[in-house]
Chain A
Amino acid sequence: MSITVDRKKLSFLERTYIPQIIGGLYITFRNMLKSKVTLSYPDQRPTLPPGYRGAPTLVKDGDGREKCVSCQLCEFICPSKAIRVTPGAIKADSKYAFIEKAPQAFEINMLRCIFCGMCQEVCPEKAIVLQNEFSLAGFSREEMVRDKAALYAAGGTMPDKIKKWSRVKSNEELERGEH
């Protein structure tokens, strides 16, 4: 079904274009006198809104323990295949041996990352967080691949409300006897 749109009948003045052109000139001239909206970037810095998705980083908990347990869900979910995790075991003599698993290597290729935040959303340990860093540049492809150390350096600590891994070590602490 076709829809006929009625055209407004233009008056003579309108058909000369002149009032419209003058109107346009007025608008642009008024705009010229307004203050600028451009941010003079390196001199002025933008205020980032909460929830801003900058570079993904790895964070530690309040005790300085690395939160990541290398479950590789971020690697799985990453639509641009930017993340590469090499899982590894925590040494048996470590204070955190009961957590068992930690990344041996963790690389995020910032040339591939599209800052979608899916890794943060999928992370069961809240270990990978997109923080405020947005100005990423480098002189080689290699330096744009961030390794574990760089990711933790960029991430810092981010304590959790729920202390998932601070748990009782034996049934005696629970005052539960053996049957």
Chain B
Amino acid sequence: MYSNNPILFAAADAAVPLWDGVLDVILMIVFSLIAIVVVMTFAGLSVVAERKVCAFMQGRYGPNRTAIPWIAAIPGVGTVLRSFGLMQLVADALKFLLKEDPLPNHVNKPWYLAAPAIALTPVLTVACLIPCGVIYADSGKIPMSVADVDLSLILALAIGSLGAYGAVIAGWSSNSKYPYFGGVRASAQMISYELTMGICALTVAIWVAPVTGKPFSLFAIADSQSGAMWLCITQPLTAFLFLVALFAETNRLPFDMAESETDLVSGFHTEYGSFKFGLFFVGEYGHVAVASALFATLFLGGWNPLPGLSWPADWGWVSSVLCVLTFLVKVAAMIFFFIWMRWSVPRFRYDQVMRLGWQCLVPLALANFVFYIILRAAM
């Protein structure tokens, strides 16, 4: 399964055969950790970005005072870090870690404790499936992802939707009415929009299938857009529907029914505090980061700089680095779009969310799917 990983290959070649399996495992752990660190960093930066962007949109400065004394004292760097609010991130993290960790008496304790982990884990798992670039090796293109699986698209959707269990379990185990409502809403919403997402993914898969031969591989889908039109141009409606479904899946405004402060206090995590709440919080932003990456991979050409253009293969590792940077820029842009949306659009009512999901998006997605089947067959 991992045998086409170039670095692993090299390591396996050099190592004593006895150590093959062990090295495999150790390296996988290291890569996974890197993926986790990257996702967590993105989640953290998203938090800062969220605060800064919303501040800017409201004519404010946002966090620009927090300073770690000896870092803030560095001329230039310190000022920048401070005014960009980056040290606020550390302060927030410390706050979550150091606050008293309350365990309410009325909750179902094992599930209550498990829920934050259940919410965060799928996000990190999906992150391992995303190809963030390509390495041009002699043997061909090698994807830069921890796990390049042929069915990675299906796997990503499958694991990603497990995140809903975090909200549902948290809502149920809190044994309190608002979290319960939040949990119920989260599950219903997830099921409704999962459908649209799945159909859109299928539309993409059948479109790329003849080109790549691996219809459900994220790397293959991204690679099919190298030097070609991006899928958001060839399939604008699919991209739009997928994006809307992503918003709903990540519980972002205008679809954050599970939290919905105005009517549910704070939704499924009302009873959570300190570090456990922090996990939900990071999970939410991690989800945003991963969803952005997924969208960039599927519709925005992955690591390719422009439609019809890709970094030349003969530049070697330079090209690989540029690929990764391109991808990260796209992810960042998508995160910005998520944030921008949140501070522009009011929340839907719950019945509107449901009606939109079942009466508009699902039929549209199905029609779109049929249209592309016919189109593909005609080509």
Q: Are A and B close enough to touch in the complex, i.e. CB under 8 Å? A: yes
Asked if B96 lies at the interface with its beta carbon under 8 angstroms from chain A, I say no
Asked if B281 lies at the interface with its beta carbon under 8 angstroms from chain A, I say no
- B residues near A21, Cβ cutoff 8 Å: 341, 344-345
Interface of chain B residues 302 through 320 with chain A (CB within 8 A): none
Asked if A36 lies at the interface with its beta carbon under 8 angstroms from chain B, I say yes
A40 to B61 alpha-carbon distance, docked (Å): 9
Check B61 against A32 for contact (C-beta < 8 Å).
Answer: no
Residue-wise interface mask of A (20-57) relative to B, using a CB-CB cutoff of 8 A (1 in contact, 0 not): 01001101110110111110100000000000000000
Asked if B358 lies at the interface with its beta carbon under 8 angstroms from chain A, I say no
Interface of A (DSSP majority class)? helix
Q: Residue of B at shortest CB range from A29?
A: B340
Residue-wise interface mask of B (328-348) relative to A, using a CB-CB cutoff of 8 A (1 in contact, 0 not): 000000000000110111000
Q: Residue of A at shortest CB range from B360?
A: A16
Check A32 against B344 for contact (C-beta < 8 Å).
Answer: no
Interface size on B (CB < 8 Å)? 12
- B residues near A35, Cβ cutoff 8 Å: 59
Q: Residue of B at shortest CB range from A15?
A: B360
Known: A24-B344, A25-B344. A32 touches B53 (CB 8 A): yes
Check A31 against B345 for contact (C-beta < 8 Å).
Answer: no
Check A25 against B59 for contact (C-beta < 8 Å).
Answer: no
Check B59 against A36 for contact (C-beta < 8 Å).
Answer: yes
* A30 CB → nearest B CB, Å: 9
Asked if B2 lies at the interface with its beta carbon under 8 angstroms from chain A, I say no
* B319 CB → nearest A CB, Å: 33
A27 to B341 alpha-carbon distance, docked (Å): 11
Interface of chain A residues 34 through 91 with chain B (CB within 8 A): 34-38, 40
A32 to B340 alpha-carbon distance, docked (Å): 10
- B residues near A32, Cβ cutoff 8 Å: 53, 56-57
Q: Residue of B at shortest CB range from A24?
A: B344
* Nearest 3 pairs of A and B residues by beta carbon: A24-B344, A37-B59, A28-B344
23 contacts between A and B (CB under 8 A): A21-B341, A21-B345, A24-B345, A25-B340, A25-B344, A27-B344, A28-B57, A28-B340, A28-B343, A29-B57, A31-B56, A31-B57, A31-B58, A31-B59, A32-B53, A34-B59, A36-B59, A36-B60, A36-B61, A37-B60, A38-B59, A38-B61, A40-B61
